[in-house]
Amino acid sequence: QVQLVESGGGLVQPGGSLRLSCVVSGTIFSGYAMGWYRRAPGKQRVLVAAITSAGSTSYADSVRGRFTISRDNAKNMVYLQMNSLKPEDTAVYYCNSRPPLDDWGQGTQVTVSS
């Protein structure tokens, strides 16, 4: 069974930065494309960043130029560096494969507020 554990969220002021981490277990991580998703209050969960097994990245328009996704296959980790955060980035952030598996982790809350 795949397990996904996200961490690194918190409260940050507009313009600040956070680095999210996700550890993946129970699968051959290096073979999967991975993504970071978020669900803002009252909205559906959406994909914001993705990285292929080879390291190619893609981003939603709303975060391009501010967020950077990366992975460490040796550690079964995927990261999301978030800079220039805005209040509209407030959400619960999840990692999962792309396309996502049925099982999701708990997510990590990111709140951007002054």
pLDDT of 23 reads: 96
Closest by CA to 26, choosing from 108, 101, 107, 109, is 101
Distance CA 94, CA 92 (A): 7
Phi and psi torsions of 90, nearest 5°: -60, 125
Instruction: Write out pLDDT tens, residues 55-89.
Output: 999 999 999 999 999 999 999 999 999 999 999 99
Indicate the pLDDT class of residue 29, thresholds 50, 70 and 90: confident
90 within 8 A of 108, measured Cβ to Cβ: no
User: Is 80 exceeded by the pLDDT of residue 28?
Assistant: no
Bridge-partner residues for 91, per DSSP?
110
Question: Which pLDDT score, from 0 to 100, does residue 26 have?
Answer: 80
CA distances from 84 to 26, 80, 90 (A): 34, 13, 12
Task: Return d(Cα 109, Cα 70) in angstroms, integer.
Answer: 19
